[in-house]
Amino acid sequence: MSESKKTCTIRENSKSGPKTLEKRGIEALQSESKCNKKKKFEWWKRSVIYQVYPRSFRDTTKNGVGDIKGITSRLPYLSSLGIGVVWLSPIFASPMADFGYDISNFTAIDPIFGTMEDFDNLLQAAHDLGLKVVMDLVPNHSSDEHEWFQKSLAKEDPYTDYYVWSNASGFDEVGNPLPPNNWISVFGGPAWKWVEGRQQFYLHQFLEKQPDLNFRNPAVQTEMQNVIKFWIDKGLDGMRIDAIKHLVEVEDLSTDEPLSGDPNVQDPNEYGYLTHPYTTNQPETLDIMRQWRILLDQYPDSKLLMAEVTYSGEEIDLVMKYYGTEEEPIADFPFNFNFIDNFHNRSDVTGFSLKFTVTEWLDNMPAGKWPNWVLGNHDQTRIATRMGKDLVEALNMMTLLLPGTPVTYYGEEIGMEDTFVSFEDSQDPSGCIWGPDRYMEFSRDPERTPMQWDNSTLAGFTDGPSSWLPVNENYVTLNVAQQEAADQSCIKNYKQLTTLRKAEVFFSGELAFPVITNEIFSYVRF
C-alpha cells in the first residue's frame, strides 16, 4: 500500500558481531495450545504459502486477464514447486475499482475469473494434489455497489447503520458540508465522502468506492461470520484477513488524528501526513478477530488464519497482539513484513540488518507462537528490484530454511522483477490518483505484471492479443520454461530447498548465527 512505500533506516544490532554463536530455542514454537486439544503440529507449519494474484497468473479466455481455470491448469506446476498452500487474492464479485479488494458480493465469484463451479473444481483439484487453498477475507469495506451499501444509502433497515455514517461538522461560507474530522484515506485525500441523499458523510479508509463497514454494529459482525462460514463450509482451508488494523474506528467521530510531522511528507493529502491512532488497531478489532478464530476452531480440521496488519516496523508490539495468547489465540500469524519494511534498497542489505530483521520477529513473538517470513506481495516492489537480483536465490534460501512458514509471491521462485508501466498503461488507482508526476511512487502495477511462463508472445500468460498489464520485457530470458531447462537456476534452487525443508530437523531444534559481518549473514539449524 502507499503508506508503506517509504524509506526506512535499519536499526543495527550493535551487539551482533563476528563469531557470536547465539542460540535460539524453537522447541517452544511447537508447544501445544493448552486450551485447544485439536492443535497439534498444524499442516500450515510445514508448508510454504504461495500467493497467486489471479489477474496475472494464467488467462484461458484470451481477454488478457487471468482466471480460475488458468490457476487450476497450473496447479501441477505449483505442486512441483513443493509448496503446500495456495493463497488466492480476491476473485469475488467486484467492479474492480481496487482489482477485487472492492467486493460487491462476498459469496459470489466475479465472472471475469469464472464461475462458482470453476472455483469448486479448483478446490477439488488442489486437494487432490495435496494442496490447501486459502482466500482473502476483506472485512473492512465493501464496494459501494454492494447491495448493503445501496440499501444503506436509502436508509433501508437493517442496513441503515451497516456503514460508518456521520453528520457534517458544519458548513463553510458557501454552504459546503465539512467532514466530521481530518482523517485521510490510505490512497490519499479525505477519507469522507458526502452523500446528498442522506445528507451525511460516509467513511472510506481506502477508495471512495470502498465504504468502510461499521463493525460496531453487531449485525455487520454476524454478516462477516456468515461469509467466513460460507467459504469454509465449501472446503476452503483458511483465510488471509485484509487490512485488519482498519476494521474499527474510535467511537467519537469528531476526533482528529495528529499530524505526523514527517519531513518527507509535505502534501496534506498523503496518508503519512497524519498518524492514525483513532482509525487503526482499536482494541475492539482484536475482539472481533478472536470471534473469527473461535468460529474456525469449531471445524474438525485446522483452518489457517493470517492477518495483514501493518508495514510499520515501529508498531511491532501492536502487530504481535494479533497472535493473541496461548489461552486466547487470534491469528495463526500476523504477516511478518519486516523484510519489506527494513529493506528498500540493495544498500540496506547487510549481515547485520538481516540478522536484526530475523531476531526482531523471533524476540518479540509471544510464547508458543509460530513465525512467518514474507519477501513480497501484490502491494510491494518485488524483492529482485528492492533487494537486488543477485540476492533473490539467497533470500529465498534464507526464508525457506528459517524456523517458521515462508510466504512466496508468484514469480519470486524465478526472480521476477518489477516492470516499468507507463502512466497511460497504469491501472492501479493508488498510483493513478497522483497523476503522471507522482504515480510511480505509489503504483502497485510494477509488481503485478503477468507471470512469465515461457518465451512465447506475452510470456505464455495468455493466448489472446494483449494482457491487462504489460509483460516485463525480460520475459524472453527470464521465464519458468527457461529455468526448468537450465542446469542451475533460481527455480531449481527453490525446489531443492522446498524438498530439503520437509526434513524433520527443520521443525525443531535451535537456531544460531555463527558469523555476522557487513558482508556475511549466516545461520545454522541444529
Q: Which is nearer to ligand GLC, 164 or 243 (CB)?
A: 243
> Distance between CA atoms of 95 and 101, rounded to whole angstroms?
9
CA angle 85, 91, 117 (to 5 degrees): 85
Q: Give the contact letters, 36-75, x = binds to ligand GLC (CB under 6 A), - = no.
A: ----------------------------------------
Q: Is 242 marked active-site? A: yes
Residue 79: count of CB within 10 angstroms of its CB: 17
Work out which of 137, 191, 243, 471 binds ligand GLC, going by CB under 6 A: 243
447 lines the binding site for ligand GLC (CB under 6 A):
no
Q: Which is nearer to ligand GLC, 1 or 397 (CB)?
A: 1
Candidate list 308, 341, 428, 445, residue with the active-site label: 308
311 lines the binding site for ligand GLC (CB under 6 A):
no
Phi–psi pair at 352, nearest 5 degrees: -65, -45
Work out which of 131, 138, 354, 383 binds ligand GLC, going by CB under 6 A: 138
| Residue 262, C-beta contacts closer than 8 angstroms, at least 6 positions apart | 272, 273
CB 142, min distance to ligand GLC, A = 10
Q: Dihedral of the CA atoms 2, 206, 280, 55 (nearest 10)?
A: -70
C-alpha cell belonging to residue 105: 458480493
Q: Which is nearer to ligand GLC, 308 or 445 (CB)?
A: 308
Q: Could you write out the three-class secondary structure of 319-348?
A: HHHCCECCCCECCCEECCCHHHHCCCCHHH
Q: Which is nearer to ligand GLC, 308 or 332 (CB)?
A: 308
C-alpha cell belonging to residue 224: 462477516
Work out which of 1, 81, 250, 432 binds ligand GLC, going by CB under 6 A: 1
Give CA separation, 418 vs 210, 373, 388, 443, 518, in Å.
Answer: 27, 20, 11, 11, 27
Q: Dihedral of the CA atoms 256, 319, 340, 522 (nearest 10)?
A: 150
Q: Could you write out the three-class secondary structure of 10-79?
A: CCCCCCCCCCCCCEEECHHHHCCCCCCCCCCCCHHHHCCEEEECHHHCCCCCCCCCCCHHHHHHCHHHHH
Candidate list 102, 118, 242, 393, residue with the active-site label: 242
Q: Which is nearer to ligand GLC, 57 or 453 (CB)?
A: 57
Q: Is 308 marked active-site? A: yes
In 3-state terms, what secondary structure has residue 365?
Answer: coil
By CB under 6 A, the residues from 329 to 388 that bind ligand GLC are 378-379
CB 204, min distance to ligand GLC, A = 10
Q: Which is nearer to ligand GLC, 249 or 379 (CB)?
A: 379
CB 19, min distance to ligand GLC, A = 41
Q: Are 160 and 166 in contact (CB under 8 A)?
A: no
CB 272, min distance to ligand GLC, A = 15
By CB under 6 A, the residues from 194 to 223 that bind ligand GLC are 206
| Residue 152, C-beta contacts closer than 8 angstroms, at least 6 positions apart | 159, 160, 161, 162, 163, 165
239 lines the binding site for ligand GLC (CB under 6 A):
no
Q: Which is nearer to ligand GLC, 53 or 165 (CB)?
A: 53
CB 242, min distance to ligand GLC, A = 5
Q: Which is nearer to ligand GLC, 1 or 265 (CB)?
A: 1
> Distance between CA atoms of 376 and 405, rounded to whole angstroms?
14
CB 416, min distance to ligand GLC, A = 18
Phi–psi pair at 141, nearest 5 degrees: -150, 165
In 3-state terms, what secondary structure has residue 493?
Answer: helix
432 lines the binding site for ligand GLC (CB under 6 A):
no
CB 67, min distance to ligand GLC, A = 19
CB 89, min distance to ligand GLC, A = 8
> Distance between CA atoms of 115 and 108, rounded to whole angstroms?
8
What does the radius of gyration of the chain's CA atoms come to, in whole angstroms? Answer: 23
CB 268, min distance to ligand GLC, A = 22
CB 199, min distance to ligand GLC, A = 28
> Distance between CA atoms of 471 and 412, rounded to whole angstroms?
15
Give CA separation, 510 vs 298, 355, 523, in Å.
Answer: 33, 15, 10
Alpha-carbon dihedral sign for residues 482, 484, 487, 491: positive
Total of residues contacting ligand GLC (CB under 6 A): 10
523 lines the binding site for ligand GLC (CB under 6 A):
no
242 lines the binding site for ligand GLC (CB under 6 A):
yes
Q: Give the contact letters, 92-131, x = binds to ligand GLC (CB under 6 A), - = no.
A: ------x--x------------------------------
Q: Which is nearer to ligand GLC, 246 or 501 (CB)?
A: 246
Residue with nearest beta carbon to ligand GLC: 101
Q: Which is nearer to ligand GLC, 243 or 480 (CB)?
A: 243
Q: Which own/partner pairs from 188-192 qualify as long-range (CB within 8 Å, at least 24 positions apart)?
A: 188/2, 188/269, 188/270, 188/271, 188/430, 188/433, 188/434, 188/442, 189/269, 189/433, 190/269, 191/279, 192/166
Query: Which residues lie near ligand GLC (CB under 6 A)?
Result: 1, 98, 101, 138, 206, 242-243, 308, 378-379
> Which sequence positions are flagged as catalytic?
242, 308
